[in-house]
A = this chain, B = another copy of it.
Amino acid sequence: MSATKSQSAKKAAPDAARRSERSRRAIYDAALSLVGEIGYPRTTIEGIAARAGVGKQTIYRWWGSKAEVLMEAFIDLNERNTEVAAERHPGYPGDPAVLPDSGDIEADFKLLLHATVDVLKDPVFEAPARALAAEGLADRAFSEAFVARLLMPGLDLYADRLRAAQEAGQVRTEVDPTIARDLFSGPLAQRWLQNTGPLDHAYADTIVEYALYGIGARPPRS
């Protein structure tokens, strides 16, 4: 949902729906900030409710667990981050289910990774996302649930974009898009998760160029 659509929906809605929307937003914000501050294990529905200024029965009416609240809070944050990217970068689609596709795979992946770097370094995203990643390292089942819901949909879009580039003759047909995507996402993930080096737009550009064109000396062709 775009910011514009959300605004007009609100205008038409009755007071109860408007109050619900306000509560939902307060709960998402509380869940994200709390988990970023104290980590996943110590975050509770009671704590989220207290910070959001709602009763905990309000949370239980909509969600079954703190994991559910957090997953939806991240999906909502991803929608808002996509809107920000669309405002900042002309040509960036405002829909989280759509990646840039100008027909130029290099330009599109650079744009995509610029937006990704911006999100990874945004404190609103970074603190809670690190807390979830840490919990994922301690608990494999938790990791798989969160990865399936929050991370893989984005990585699947990377693969789709690479398939389109194969059809356009920009990526070799024998390349496996579900492996090739890791050349783009993996280096950023490692720098973000393990602090192995600076993470900025220039780095993202270099990674895209190396992944597309290779670092090896190309043999002369006859």
Contact = CB atoms under 8 A, between A and B. Distances in A.
Interface of A: 39, 105-106, 130-131, 133-138, 140, 143-144, 147, 151-152, 155, 162, 169-172, 175-176, 178-180, 182-183, 185-191, 193-197, 203, 206-207, 210-218, 220-221
Given A170-B217, A176-B206, A215-B175, A133 B194 contact: yes
A216 to B, nearest CB: 4
Given A134-B135, A151-B196, A221-B221, 5 more contacts: A136-B194, A176-B206, A179-B206, A182-B191, A189-B190
A140 B195 contact: yes
Contacts of A212: 214-216
Given A137-B137, A215-B212, A220-B221, A179 B155 contact: no
A95 to B, nearest CB: 23
Contact of A182 (B162, B172, B207, B216): B207
Contact of A152 (B172, B183, B196): B196
5 contacts: A180-B210, A185-B196, A190-B190, A211-B214, A212-B215
Nearest to A171: B215
Given A138-B130, A189-B190, A215 B210 contact: no
A125 to B, nearest CB: 14
Nearest to A191: B182
Nearest to A175: B215
